[in-house]
Structure 1
Amino acid sequence: MQPTNVSLQFFCPRWGQEHETYDAFCRKVKEAGYDGIEAPVSFDANEREEQANALVKYNLLLIGQYYQSFEKDFAEHKSNYEKHLISLIQAKPVKIDSQTGKDYFSFEQNKELFDLAQKLSEEYNIPIAHETHRNKALFAAHTSKLILERLPGLPVTADFSHWCAVAETLLEDQEEATALACKHAIHIHARIGYEEGPQVNDPRAPEWQNALNAHLQWWDAIIANHQNTGAGAITITPEFGPWPYIPSVPYTKQPLSSQWDINVYMMRLLKKRYQ
């Protein structure tokens, strides 16, 4: 793909790097060439301060991440969802990635959560993107298509690796769903899924070329859509995860590849492709 005039920002996931202090993590992130980090924000005041100080020290941006959608009872779920979003908003991120809802909630229940996020997003002028994630409201291509058709303004984090695992395909037969999601996407999780799981062992390996190309085509469509509409910056988080996402040696859990190296590789690949 030819370089574009779309503004791109790259973020490093905190996921898998929690063993490091925020200062050490952010220093490494800055040196690698990222624009910021994507991370949850703790309710603990000391940890929040540590995170905030490191971001300022290394001049990094923050994408806040909500993933704590664990409650089965909807009323409790919605209450905690609001608490987490407000906590993230108080950290002044440029964007929030939200693993919103549940696959077993009704459309009306998940819509309540989407509506709450939209209200907070408009009130505080912080975009909130809802992730295409297993077990959440947007867990699969076919059901997400129905939701997006009914909610044409819903912002999405495109992580199609999950949809590949759910459908056990590279979504060749669900082109309408992926095309619609690409039009809704304002944030990308650049992980490569395949027919049997949400993360290949190493996207640099030739046996995963078809899976890599499928995801690149989706990301190309997202970038092209933003180029055509003149929308704001596209944010991209290479999000290959640690164990148990990353294939590992039995018993020792020793990873077969380096999560850090793969995510840096993905960032550089996409920078070269789009810039």
Structure 2
Amino acid sequence: MKIKFYAPQWGNTLPFDAFCSHVKSAGYDGVEMALPFDREETDVILEALAKHGLELIGQYWQSFERDIDAHAASYEKCLRNLIAAKPVFINCQTGKDYFSFDHNKRLFDLAASLAAESGIPIIHETHRGKSLYAAHVTHGYLSQIPDLRITLDISHWCNVHESLLEDQVEEVALAIAHTDHIHSRVGHAEGPQVNDPRAPEWAETLETHLQWWDQVVASHHAKQSQLTVTTEFGPSPYMPSLPYAQTPVASQWDINVYMMNLLKERYRQETASARH
């Protein structure tokens, strides 16, 4: 059983090489990010990652086209661009919440074909606005497409369902059984990100998320399979800010490093095995 931790490039304002240096020094194993289509720009990114001994998780989020044919074409173009960089795997915010089951399944099938062709695993994120935007909807996809593997960002579901999912135990359990990657952001009933998970007022909410992640870890421990975590607390507007001044109420970087260290300590045995 292994757990590796990745930093989100989302929100970074440093030159990329300096960012990689910070990521490595903090104790991360790699970075999760999208890549530009310009080959020279991508090469600079890949060289910086290699220089600092960091792995890459490719990230797809550019789901904008309403027409399914245009959407599928853009999806394939983005995935092939990420595949060319040979990431550890690709995490996709696949589809749209308003697409039909068949339209979203077309995208899942396309991803499965590209994964088989390339040997790069492609998994799909639970995310508002996308195909897997809600617990009960995801349950339907996982029941009908049993090979589907997911990134569990359960913070979104807390927001969508305006709860800590107390009434969706079966739906959450099936999602956990299909989880290969975690985004360890903490959501709440009125938003996808608490302002600071270290604050005592969020203790119960944090503990609920930890118990969900414990179940994912236990599942991978039983199979002795690789598990990955991206500490994906985001910048504004995910991070609340003060009115008028627009000053963030907390440091995105500090919170993400806190979450990594919290989970490393909680799963010390598994994270230790990842270093051997």
State TM-score, norm by structure 2: 0.96
Equivalent-residue separation in structure 1 for 2:217 and 2:135 (angstroms): 20
Cα distance in 2 between the residues matched to 1:69 and 1:138: 13
Q: 2:140 aligns with which of 103, 126, 146?
A: 146
Q: Output the amino acid matched with 2:266.
A: R
- How far apart in 2 are the matches of 1:156 and 1:45? 28
Percent identity at matched positions? 57
Q: Does 1:173 align with 2:143?
A: no
1:71 alignment counterpart: 65
- Give RMSD over aligned pairs: 0.8
Matches of 2:232 and 2:247 in 1, distance apart? 19
1:239 to 224, 232, 235: 232
Alignment of structure 1 residues 67-216 onto 2, 5 Å: 67-216=61-210
Question: Structure 1 stretches of 5 or more lacking a match?
Answer: 1-5
- Is residue 227 of structure 2 the alignment partner of residue 230 of structure 1? no
One-letter code aligned to 2:236: W
The answer to whether the 8 A contact 2:2-2:224 is kept is no
Q: Distance in 2 between matches of 1:128 and 1:9?
A: 17
**Aligned residue identity for 2:135:** A
Letter in 2 for 1:142: H
Structure 2 gaps of 5+ residues are 269-276
Structure 1 runs of 4+ aligned residues shifted over 2 Å read none
Tell me, in whole angstroms, the C-alpha distance in 2 between the residues paired with 1:271 and 1:94. 20
TM-score by length of 1: 0.96
CA–CA distance in structure 1, aligned partners of residues 19 and 41 of structure 2: 14
Deviations 1:63-121 (A, max 9, x none): 00000001111100000000000000111100111000000000011001001111111
Q: 1:11 aligns with which of 6, 16, 41?
A: 6
Q: CA deviation at 1:230?
A: 2.7
Report the alpha carbon displacement of residue 124 of structure 1 after superposing the two structures with TM: 1.4
What is the letter of the counterpart of residue 12 of structure 1? A
The residue that corresponds to 2:263 in the other structure is 270
